[in-house]
Chain A
């Protein structure tokens, strides 16, 4: 019975993911051959040798600085920098991931708190609704790449460097989906439920705690998933102007200085995996909460 359920779960949930993953890998290999072939032919021409098709294929898979590294090259680099090198070393991707992750999480927590606070204010005050909402939307139209170095500079002039400025950028990005989602969520209870609370002469705070917030939970988790992913983006962008000290962003920057495409791609893949793990964790939390809140299985 349980095994059957597990197999069904595997077939329903895992199979589509695996199919897409295989598709991406095939496209990636084709892309690597196509993009790296020019260099392979050039090198052969310079040394005056002819390349057979299979030799060309082998060449494109093993270049030192390929235009597009093949998946197994990235995997090997990741294995080396994540598993083989001690996590305390500055050459370890785990070390850099940890630094990026800490500012991502701090920024995400601050951003979520700010987003919820703004949404509560907006839902309860017409003045805040009219005055804040346009600015919240405007804040996201400013390119983050332009404003991130300014934030870093301003913080640095006050002697604050490291975690906090990066977390601030993450917060700046992640409060937005939470604020917008929570405004909608806090307004989602229907008129009958609001009337019901009114017949109890419930205070605004009681209505918020017992009706609006529980009703907003699905909205909160949906926007937190978006929020945590862009928090990570924010943290990486925050690391770019810090002069490549530490973090996945610094690793990307260092890779591009030295044309280390394999290093760039393995940092990118690590960031993507990190984002996926964070989103999955929020999804698990969301399922746990909705199950507690009596959702239909």
Chain B
């Protein structure tokens, strides 16, 4: 149980190399349901710095998606404080501080890919010329040049998810919030998209908060990994993942990678142990 005792210290004392963009203190969220209140988040202390790639990992019911939704102002916390870019999540949302990528692409089936990417820009009231420019730019960024006039059903699942990432990027947010974006895709497509996402992150230097339940995915992508445990959903351990910026796919066979993966796995197991 030494890991368990040591873990909160790792979380709070980590030295951020950049200014914080997300800060939560004693964050609590209790859902009132018909039979019993559900403690979805309990005492979450987390600071995420600018340009970091932070993964939230844990078994289902650990509150990782809920935490992401609180950051996005899609859920309201019932206790504690949270700031996003120094503002409340509500203000941050109104300021379009983030782009949100859902588990499924959530493209509108009646809009072409280009029109889907333009959707947030239309909502923001950006003029047509600028919309077209940003659509082209972001289509290129996710390797979908020439697919703008296709409808979503004409694209594969992986391409649809890339389009949805382009849509999130079109807003030009400082931050990407991604909720198991590749969870519904097969492993080969997933590897490919992981590589692309990493390149994209290296190029744009955006802050990414990434929810996943895949250990290799978390280790491959992240600069830090937040291991969460369920009932009540809380942070069990925060693990640094300093594999450097250049991460080819076969880094996953290196001892450094496997050591971190092992630590994540141990953390998940320890956090889950009392459950059985």
Contact = CB atoms under 8 A, between A and B. Distances in A.
A65 interface: no
Interface in A252-296: 293-294, 296
A47 interface: no
A206 B123 contact: yes
A199 B124 contact: no
B220 interface: no
Please tell me the size bucket of the interface on A: 10 to 19
A198 interface: yes
A198 B74 contact: yes
Contacts of A214: 108, 110
A210 B104 contact: no
Given A210-B122, A294-B153, A199 B112 contact: no
The secondary-structure label for the interface of chain B is loop
A8 interface: no
Contacts of B53: none
Given A294-B151, A294-B153, A296-B153, A202 B106 contact: no
Which 10 residue pairs spanning A and B have beta carbons closest together?
A294-B151, A293-B110, A199-B100, A200-B123, A192-B106, A200-B120, A202-B123, A214-B110, A201-B94, A196-B106
A192 B180 CA distance: 13
B104 A192 contact: yes
Nearest to B74: A195
B98 A199 contact: yes
Interface of A: 192-193, 195-202, 206, 210-211, 214-215, 217, 293-294, 296
A196 B102 contact: yes
Interface of B: 72-74, 93-94, 96, 98-100, 102-104, 106, 108-112, 119-120, 122-124, 151-153, 171
B96 A201 contact: yes
The secondary-structure label for the interface of chain A is helix
Contacts of B102: 192, 195-196
A63 to B, nearest CB: 57
A294 B109 contact: yes
B108 A211 contact: yes
A217 B109 CA distance: 12
Contacts of B103: 192
Nearest to A198: B74
B106 A199 contact: no
B70 to A, nearest CB: 13
26 contacts: A192-B103, A193-B106, A193-B108, A195-B74, A196-B100, A196-B102, A196-B106, A199-B74, A199-B93, A199-B98, A200-B96, A200-B119, A200-B120, A201-B93, A201-B94, A202-B123, A210-B119, A214-B108, A215-B110, A293-B109, A294-B109, A294-B111, A294-B112, A294-B151, A294-B153, A296-B153
